[in-house]
């Protein structure tokens, strides 16, 4: 199990995420201000599926009415692998390659809709 609390650096600010729920193969951690939720989960059916997900909610002005409305965004990494044939090292190499590719420039291009 991951330690309680977890820490993520968001906009150059280290943020503590205390554990709020642990059930079966899922743990949820929430930032102190309640606007971020970190979920770590595992499913082991015909394949191994590992998910790390960061959710954010905030209030913002609606673009047409100007009224405050709640909006949300989620960013997650899914590792979905066969139960046999891949070592942890094989998968770690793939995750490391993807992390290295996710530069600010490439994330910007992704958010601009490039494929």
User: Tokens standing for 82?
Assistant: 């066969």
Which CATH architecture describes the domain 6-83?
2-Layer Sandwich (3.30)
Average pLDDT, the chain: 96
Q: What is the pTM of this model?
A: 0.90
Residue 61 pLDDT class (50, 70, 90 cuts): very high
Asked if 100 and 74 touch (Cβ cutoff 8 Å), the reply is no
- Locate the domains of the chain by residue range: 6-83, 85-115
Which pLDDT does position 1 carry in this prediction?
85
* 71-82: pLDDT as tens digits: 999 999 999 999
User: Tokens standing for 9?
Assistant: 């650096």
* 7-29: pLDDT as tens digits: 999 999 999 999 999 999 999 99
Average pLDDT over residues 78-87: 96
C-alpha span between 5 and 9 (Å, rounded): 13
């Amino acid at each position: 199990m991951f330690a309680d609390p977890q820490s993520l650096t968001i906009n150059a600010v280290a943020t503590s995420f205390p554990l709020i729920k642990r059930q079966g193969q899922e743990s949820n951690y929430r930032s102190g201000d309640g606007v971020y939720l970190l979920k770590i989960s595992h499913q082991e059916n015909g394949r191994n599926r590992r998910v790390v997900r960061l959710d954010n909610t905030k209030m913002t002005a609606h673009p047409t009415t100007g009224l405050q409305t709640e909006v949300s965004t989620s960013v997650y990494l899914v590792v979905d692998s066969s139960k046999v044939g891949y070592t942890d090292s094989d998968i770690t190499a793939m995750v490391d390659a993807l992390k290295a590719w996710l530069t600010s420039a490439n994330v910007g291009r992704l958010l601009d809709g490039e494929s």
